[in-house]
Chain A
Amino acid sequence: MSDVKKFLYVNRKAPYGTIYALESLEVVLIGAAFEQDVSLAFVDDGVFQLMKGQDTSEVGMKNFSPTYSALGDYDVNKIYVEKESLEARGLTVDDLMDLKYEDEDDDWAEKDSIRVVTAEEMKAIMDEQDVILSF
């Protein structure tokens, strides 16, 4: 399958204050239908998109955070979160949603989609992509 390309969606904005986070998620879900090798990167304020416990009932906006949990079902299970961005915001992986996927190559074992990586590791991930989409 030489026509499969590596796609990376880079998310750098907080949710709700701007439309970028929601738009990115919509494009990822649409793009998932094309069966490419998809990864998501969350850096800078983008890490806030994955915070657990989001509740928009008082602000009159759609809470799209539960949709991240569906990404595993669309074979989007490489979710890279930059460690340095978390630390700058006083956060750890425990503050993020518990995103899982079932690994078809490992008897459908349930595994974590979120992988916390250093900036150095993120550089390598970005470098190996065919297509990068920025939000």
Chain B
Amino acid sequence: MSMLHIVNKSPFERNALDACLRLAKSGSSLLLIEDAVYAAMKGTTVSDKVAAAMKDMKVYVLGADLKARGVGEEKLMEGIDVVDYAGFVDLVAEHDNNQSWL
């Protein structure tokens, strides 16, 4: 089964992303929204674990939430796909199921 994992909490403040990465099966997808978009930034204390996760997971980030927070594309890690709201809907539709990590 293909799972879309959705994380919306800052990785610097909460352990939602850690829990997701620990329990997600390889081959599943991860969508970062709201305060979790900071996890897509390069050069942070969480960049290494996100990079490690990207070896067996596809990682997406919601563009509108990046833009709201002033995080430009030049700050993003390589290999993370920026999606818009329509892309969010497509991801939900393309996967068999989705799981939110609050």
Partner of B71, one of A13, A51, A56, A88: A51
Q: Which residues of B pack against A, CB within 8 Å? A: 8-10, 12-13, 34-35, 38, 41-45, 47, 63-65, 67-72, 75, 84-85
Q: What's the dominant secondary structure at chain A's contact region?
A: loop
What residue of chain A has the Cβ atom nearest to residue B41's Cβ?
A: A90
Q: Is A30 an interface residue (CB 8 A)?
A: no
Q: Which residues of A pack against B, CB within 8 Å? A: 13-18, 44-45, 48, 51-59, 61, 63, 65, 88-90
A54, B47: Cβ atoms under 8 Å? no
A89, B12: Cβ atoms under 8 Å? yes
Bound Cα distance A17, B69 (Å): 10
A16, B35: Cβ atoms under 8 Å? yes
B45, A51: Cβ atoms under 8 Å? no
